[in-house]
Amino acid sequence: MTDDDFELLFPRDISDETATILCDFLYALATECENRFFTQIRRYRPTQHAVDPERPWISLHPED
């Protein structure tokens, strides 16, 4: 996506109330997506980027 695409999706001249409602909606949408596809996400992510839960700042893949 380009900056122009984001400008169309998220215009700068919206009210504070509208910005808050939009953000609340997007967070709710992301949460629902994660809840709905949790098993698939968990199955896919470990194959992409393994993380030590005790030291998440250290990659377990040396090529990263």
Alpha-carbon torsion angle 45, 51, 57, 63, nearest 10: -80
For the chain, the farthest-separated pair of C-alpha atoms sits apart, in whole angstroms, at 46
In the predicted model, residues of the chain with pLDDT beneath 70 are 46-51, 59-64
* pLDDT given for residue 62 in this prediction: 54
* pLDDT given for residue 61 in this prediction: 60
* pLDDT given for residue 30 in this prediction: 95
* pLDDT given for residue 50 in this prediction: 63
* CA atoms of 20 and 22, how far apart (whole Å): 5
| CA angle in degrees (0–180, nearest 5) for 9-14-19 | 80
Domain boundaries of the chain, sorted by first residue: 11-59
